Structure 1
Amino acid sequence: MTGGRNTKWVLLALLFFSTVINYLDRQALSILATTIQADLGMSDLEYARVVQVFLFAYAAAYVMAGRVTDWLGARVALLLFVGWWSLANIATGFVRSAFELGAARFALGLGEPGNYTVGTKVVSEQFPAPQRGLALGLYTAGAMIGATLAPPLIGGIALTYGWRSAFWITGVAGLLWMIAWYLVYPRPARQTATAVTAAATAEAVATPALDTPAAPAPAVSMKGVWGRLARDRTVWALVASRAVADPVWYFYLFWFPKYLGDARGMSLAAIASLAWIVYVAADIGSVGGGLISGRLVKRGMSPVRARLATMIGAACLAPVGMLVALHPPIPAAARAGVRGDVRAPDLPDQPHRDDGRSVPVALHRLGGGAGGLRQCTRRHGLGPGGGPPGRRRQLRPRIRADGVPAPDRGTTGLDRVAESEALQDDVDRSRRTGRGGLSDERHAVQR
């Protein structure tokens, strides 16, 4: 069934917006992770389990989403999927424990894959073969746009109305989207396969800018399809590529905003204003990769070699991400981070102007680099669960500007850097003086 020329593009626009909403709902948790953990009393391990529960449901649901789409049809199936995940996202705003949060995100994971199975079906039904690649590219671009919009949008809502409202508002957006989909999508009509093919061919031929439409694919028996897929080397190559690339992408989706808050000491406002940059880079890479491979093909390179060359180039860029933990220079940043954490531990929580001259901004910029030593300090027994808790807390003077002790919010990356440097100083002094234990200065700090 193909819709009118205007209808199919309206449907494509709706698919684009459903994909944007899909990623907004998915990203809301990672943007607000530190805030939610503080409110619900969750550890990093519990947060990791919540993320894993979502991914497990997400992967498992893909297997069934295609069958549900074929059974119900694109119109009804997408209403079901969007309604399901929108309600799950709204439910996230009501959770009171890590278990409830995991249950809500599990439900979200069950619904979100349907957006992509239905999207593929809609494109195949509504667009002739020459237009399908363009249509798929346009609507799936909503994923990158959604990931890019999530930090400022989700962060702005949370800062204005509270973190729970961020889930409620984005969930309601999905429910409102359902109304438009219900009204726009054409009612199913009985058409023969010949009529569908003829309509698609006629429309493609009427568009001279497009290539001649491809011949309809022959019918393929579904009997023994899993066995055929298991023996197909191309399938395994695709599986291997996703197995290598997807964990990196999901790391940036679920852990990068949290890293900025925990290891770099950024406030929610700073995360909202900066985290989108990495997702813009993903947008550029997604579009640029296709453009580069296309140009290589035009210059005479075979499509397979052109795509392989593009992927190798992208793989060579991937290790650059490791440099995040090493910038700015570690020794100077570590010392600045120690001073910043001791002298003004709660300044990141106070409102300030990012004019480059204020004290909080200076401490952010100097102290953030110290978080890059987080993995190094773990090996010294100062990571989560390592080292004596009493010493960790005693070595962390947290005094506000007004002289009132600040509430202990847990150990941060900067705290561990400060402790590691202080303990190393004690070891050096003991070697020089022949004494063991902490120096007199550190005992004074403890008292």
Structure 2
Amino acid sequence: MGKSIRLKKGYDIKLLGEASKEIAEIPAADIFAVKPTDYLSITPKLVVKVGDEVLAGSSLFFDKKRPDINFPSPVSGEVVEIVRGAKRKVLEIRILADKTTKFVKTAIPSKLEAQSIKDTLIKGNLWSLLKQRPFSIIPSTEEQPKAIFVSTFDSAPLAPDLSFVIEQNKAGFDKGLEVLEILASGNLEVGMEAGASLSVSSGNQNEFSGPHPAGNVGIQVHHVSPIKPGESVWYLDAQDVIILGEFFNSGEYHADRLIAVTGSEVSNPSYVKLKIGQSLAKLFAEQVSESNVRFIQGNVLSGATSHSEDFLSFYTSQLTVIPEGNKAEFLGWLLPSTKKLSLSRTYFSWLTPNKKYDIDTNTHGEERAFVMSGQYEKVLPMNIMPVQLLKAIMAGDIERMEALGIYEVAEEDLALCEFVCTSKIEVQKIVREGLDLIRTEG
């Protein structure tokens, strides 16, 4: 029996454009692109060139520093373009997909043990499904975590209903948890939403209630098994657990995701079934009619800015489209209004806590003096001092960063701090800089 944890700190941002529980069909895409930039802290080395034929699951590139970690093609077809940026950095490997997908077949051992699971994931080029805390990077194949975490719910704005997603392939999800429990030597921690109807048969089940970021795996790790220096935990997104389970059921890499297409600028917010790397051009052309909008892969708090001709990134399970905030506003925030979302009682949104808002990207001000206001502590359900931690990062003080809990956080955990910040500090950028610094020099 796991823990039952009630979080009081946090905030649920209610927005227009929630995905209805229906799965829409979209035209098949011809071009797919795999982006090495989706993966933090790797240096890609290509194993393919233009004109090569690839299978779904075959390696496209590996990490120069850890050559046993390879990254797979989501489809079979022909490599038609290698897109490079500054200093010949590889940005995309584009593939013209076959009409019928052909797969690499990986032999699955009859008896699953932790080492045989590791060996099979490495051989099948799927080690990249795993991520680790600290640093939110792909773990080393030589390490063993103290636990593996899976969160079965997402509390971010307009996030997909993971219970609905999991039920579409419950067998794959259950198989994935079974494999992870063996890989974790029995130390599998599954985060469950209080009151949810979803049931799982593997792992230690911990129940969470409270506002966002209750669904963040980092918050769950903090309250169940805090990370100390020298320790690590691994984690997977719920849809990656399904991919893992399907792989151990079939020996094939099925790169399918059920994507929540959300936001006030989407004509029919719903779910669509896409493959990783699939072109989004047709989807956005059908769903978005306005031109002055922000495309986001992920949620409005921690997602990455995208564009209408982009391709689905490896870890994306939500697409959001909201208005750009580049229009002048008369008197700005000096003008009282019931249409503005604010955590402060200076405005009237606190009188209608269930109202859904149509927000844009306007930050309503520029960066100013970084002062202690107590705002961060109200929305961060972690036993750390966020302002002091951020200032230690900005000062490059590694020893103080460690003492203040740098190992326990990632950008998404402090995204709400950035949202409420009156100083307009780029909190998530600072956190990433701190994590990169301590990983390379700590």
TM-score (norm 2): 0.27
Between structures 1 and 2, the one with greater strand share: 2
Looking at CA atoms only, which structure, 1 or 2, has the larger radius of gyration? 1
Between structures 1 and 2, the one with greater helix share: 1
